[in-house]
């Protein structure tokens, strides 16, 4: 037994020494070619643990003339050492981000620089897992980097756990037009207090939740919420009006047909697991969130605040559903022709800015920008976003859509 142990110790020493020696060879050139990369790696835990360049990039690239032989890390690369974290990641929404945006009709209308070139949607959705074949295809198209997914939060080549624990790690993607979680959080009391902690104005032990406190409890990389991204779920609400409104929204999302029956899009949603499709799944995520809130607040307070978020969805849904029905009525009455490519006699909320006319464009903004702000502002403790950028904007959207519809009907009848 002792001799076998000695063998394994010596073998491990040989592997680490070989890895370290190989890394030294890479460093000698890359100090000139990419000094920032070298500096980050040298400051990393990888460097301290003798995880060298070849462990992630392979050993076939040895000179400036064979750069194309360097392997690009993918999720499987990270899984060799971080099996538990990768398993958690694969159970959550981040892992399907690439597939989700590829499934959007509008994605394929965009310039390639914005998609596969990562200068638009692809810049954040690249956090989703891709096969080796997809990575190779992207490489051949000129999009060489950023396919490992883990490096979206643990920025290469430092791969810092401490960096990924900061709310700013989420900022690049969770901001802007359709999901301004960063702006909401940063100006909420939670975000303000955390910034004051970072500035050392309030004590280190002061309560100041980060994005990770609520959405990555105990470091779990799953990252899942009760309502999901678009705040649609099954079973439908018991409230009769809300149920009708959610059915209308689901029809405009193309996951229910005009008779309320499931479509192929619903199968995509199920496969991607981006929405909670039964009460048990919803309750599981809601209870996890109540647990996070209860670290600082009374449980009944947490439950009441989350219930207000639910109610904000209910009220926002009523505005959005009314707007959808106004435009669907124009299609039904022949005032507007149903756009080519729309499978059902409803405006397609997933066509985004490719919607053909101003009235449908207004609905797109109402749905993906203003409705998101209305309910996400409530859940993220930001009253200004929930009211002025959300609810108020939706009320104005509906007024404009009704006015535009009346004008279109006048022109049609005249």
Q: Are 336 and 330 in contact (CB under 8 A)?
A: yes
Q: At what angle do helices 299-332 and 358-365 cross, to 10 degrees?
A: 170
Question: Within 10 Å of residue 16's Cβ, how many Cβ atoms?
Answer: 14
Burial of 305 (0-12, 13-18, 19+ CB in 10 A): middle
Tokens of 375: 């309910």
* Residue-level pLDDT at 22: 58
The Cα 180–Cα 200 span in angstroms is: 26
Which residues are 274's β-sheet partners?
none
Q: What is the DSSP string of 37-69?
A: HHHHHHTSHHHHTT--HHHHH-S---SGGGGGG
The Cα 367–Cα 390 span in angstroms is: 10
* Residue-level pLDDT at 82: 97
Q: Specify the domain boundaries for CATH 1.20.850.10 within the chain.
A: 225-413
User: For the chain, which ranges sit under pLDDT 70?
Assistant: 1-22, 144, 146
Question: Within 10 Å of residue 242's Cβ, how many Cβ atoms?
Answer: 19
- Name the class of domain 225-413: mainly alpha
The Cα 367–Cα 62 span in angstroms is: 52
* Residue-level pLDDT at 6: 42
Instruction: Find out whether the peptide bond into 235 is cis, omega within 30 degrees of 0.
Output: yes
Handedness of CA 123, 365, 106, 260 (dihedral sign): positive
Residue 103 Cα distances to 17, 257, 267, 269, 276, angstroms: 46, 18, 12, 10, 19
* Residue-level pLDDT at 100: 86
pLDDT digits (tens, 9 = 90+) for 54-104: 999 999 999 989 988 888 888 999 999 999 999 999 999 899 999 888 888
Chain position carrying tokens 């959080």: 185
pLDDT digits (tens, 9 = 90+) for 130-183: 877 887 778 777 776 767 789 999 999 999 999 999 999 999 999 999 999 999
The Cα 284–Cα 31 span in angstroms is: 49
What single DSSP character describes residue 390? I
């Amino acid at each position: 037994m002792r001799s076998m142990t000695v063998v394994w110790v010596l073998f491990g020493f040989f592997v680490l020494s070989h890895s370290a020696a190989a890394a030294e060879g890479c460093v000698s050139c890359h100090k000139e070619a990419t000094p920032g990369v070298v500096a980050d790696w040298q400051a990393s835990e990888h460097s301290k643990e003798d995880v060298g360049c070849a462990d992630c990039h392979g050993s076939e690239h040895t000179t400036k003339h064979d750069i194309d032989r360097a392997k690009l890390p993918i999720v499987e690369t990270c899984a060799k050492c971080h099996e538990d974290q990768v398993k958690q990641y694969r159970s959550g929404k981040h892992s399907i981000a690439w597939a989700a945006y590829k499934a959007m009709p509008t994605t394929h209308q965009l310039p390639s620089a914005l998609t596969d070139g990562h200068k638009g949607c692809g810049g954040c959705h690249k956090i989703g897992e891709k096969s080796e074949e997809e990575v190779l295809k992207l490489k051949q198209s000129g999009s060489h980097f950023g396919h490992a997914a883990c490096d979206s939060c643990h920025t290469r080549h430092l791969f810092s756990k401490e960096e990924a624990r900061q709310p700013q790690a989420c900022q690049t993607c969770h901001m802007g037009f359709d999901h301004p979680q960063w702006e909401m959080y940063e100006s909420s009391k939670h975000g303000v207090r955390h910034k004051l902690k970072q500035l050392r104005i309030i004590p280190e032990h002061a309560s100041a939740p980060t994005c990770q406190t609520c959405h990555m409890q105990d470091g779990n990389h799953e990252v899942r919420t009760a309502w999901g991204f678009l705040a649609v779920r099954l079973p439908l609400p018991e409230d009769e009006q809300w149920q009708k409104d959610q059915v209308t929204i689901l029809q405009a999302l193309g996951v229910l047909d005009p008779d309320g029956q499931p479509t192929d899009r619903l199968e995509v949603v199920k496969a991607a697991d981006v929405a909670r499709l039964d009460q048990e799944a919803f309750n599981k995520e809601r209870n996890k969130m109540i647990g996070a809130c209860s670290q600082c607040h009374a449980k009944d307070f947490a439950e009441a605040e989350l219930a207000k978020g639910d109610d904000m969805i209910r009220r926002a849904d009523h505005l959005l559903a009314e707007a959808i029905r106004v435009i669907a009525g124009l299609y039904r009455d022949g005032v507007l022709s149903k756009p080519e490519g729309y499978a059902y006699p409803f405006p397609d909320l997933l066509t985004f800015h490719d919607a053909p006319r101003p009235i449908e464009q207004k609905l797109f903004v109402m749905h993906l920008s203003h409705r998101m702000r209305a309910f996400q502002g409530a859940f993220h403790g930001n009253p200004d976003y929930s009211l002025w950028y959300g609810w108020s904007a939706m009320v104005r959207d509906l007024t404009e859509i009704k006015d535009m519809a009346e004008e279109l009907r006048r022109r049609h009848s005249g």
